[in-house]
Structures are given as C-alpha cells and as structure tokens.
Amino acid sequence: MWEGLFGFTNGLAVIGWLMLAFLPRKPLTHSAILFLGVGLLCLVYAVSFALFLSGSVDIGQQAGGGTPGFGSIEQVRALFLSDGGVVIGWTHYLAFDLFTGLWIARDADAKDFSRIAQLPFLAATFMAGPVGLLSWLVVRERSARKTGRG
C-alpha cells in the first residue's frame, strides 16, 4: 500500500512541476497545478494523516523504533522509521514545495522575470524547497521594491 501511494504522489508532483516549468501559464494550467496537483497531494496527506492518528492504518513500525508521534525527537524518528510515516511526511513536502513553486512562478511572471530566469529557482525549490524559496525571496526583493509589494 505505502509503496503504491509513494509512487502515486511522486508521479503527481512531477507532473505538476513539469506543467509549471514548461506549459504556457494560463489560468487553466494554474488551476490544474493548484487543484489536481497541490490539492490532491493535500487530500492524500490529510486522509493518510487522519488514518494514522486514528490508528486505522498500520504505518509499518520498525522493530525497536519506539512509539511514533510528535512529542519528542525520538517519537518523530520512530515515525520516519516506518514506510507509512515516510510516505505521509514525503507527501507533506511534495504538496508544500509544489505550492511554493506555483507561488514563485506566479510572482516571477508578475515581475516580468523570463521563464529561463525562473527555472533555477523552481529547480531549487523542487529539490530543496526552502533553499529555492529563500533564493527567490532574496532576488525578488529588488523587483518588489520597484513594482510595489504585490
């Protein structure tokens, strides 16, 4: 189950990122990325997380891993020692990184950054979310001052 869900969420995210990077940015493209990409990833995360919290699904605890949870580093470590915990956590990253990439692309389009100039920020966000976002925030500041904060 977890392996299949992992493959599904990865495939969904990659499709969203490819659309973001290479398709014309029209309202329909933005909506597809937002609702069929980010929204569906959020739904998968929410359902998986709720099932985990309710005890309805076995996340595949590793022997000696302790009790999964969020109250201590040991509990978080135990969560990520399980296939289910990894898939749930990974889906969280995928959803937020794709949403962040969509925001960067829309912001960059509004500030007249070329698609080529945007690609390094999108790639960095895809591979290392906060690094791409921080890089974009630094670069966009000058343009934001010229055009207003919007």
The fraction of the chain above a pLDDT of 90, given in percent, is 65
**Whole-number pLDDT of residue 76:** 83
C-alpha to C-alpha distance for 133 and 141, rounded to whole angstroms: 12
Does residue 124 carry a pLDDT above 80?
A: yes
Counts for the chain of helices (H) and strands (E), in that order: 6, 0
The token duo for 43 is 């739904």
Residue with token string 């630094």:
138
pLDDT above 70 for 150: no
Q: What is the tens place of the pLDDT at every residue in 23-77? A: 988 999 999 999 999 999 999 999 998 998 887 887 776 656 677 777 889 888 8
Q: Is pLDDT of 143 > 80?
A: no
Beta carbons of 113 and 141 less than 8 angstroms apart: no
pTM for the full predicted model: 0.87
Are 87 and 49 spatial neighbours (Cβ–Cβ below 8 Å)?
Answer: no
Looking at residue 116, its amino acid is I
Summarised one tens digit per residue, pLDDT across range 73-91 is 988 888 888 888 899 999 9
Question: Which residues have a Cβ under 8 Å from the Cβ of 70 and sit 6 or more positions away?
Answer: 76, 79
- Specify whether the backbone of 92 is left (phi greater than 0), alpha (psi in -120 to 50) or beta: alpha
Q: Give the C-alpha separation, 132 to 106, whole Å.
A: 15
Tell which phi-psi region holds residue 66, choosing left (phi > 0), alpha (psi between -120 and 50) or beta. Answer: left
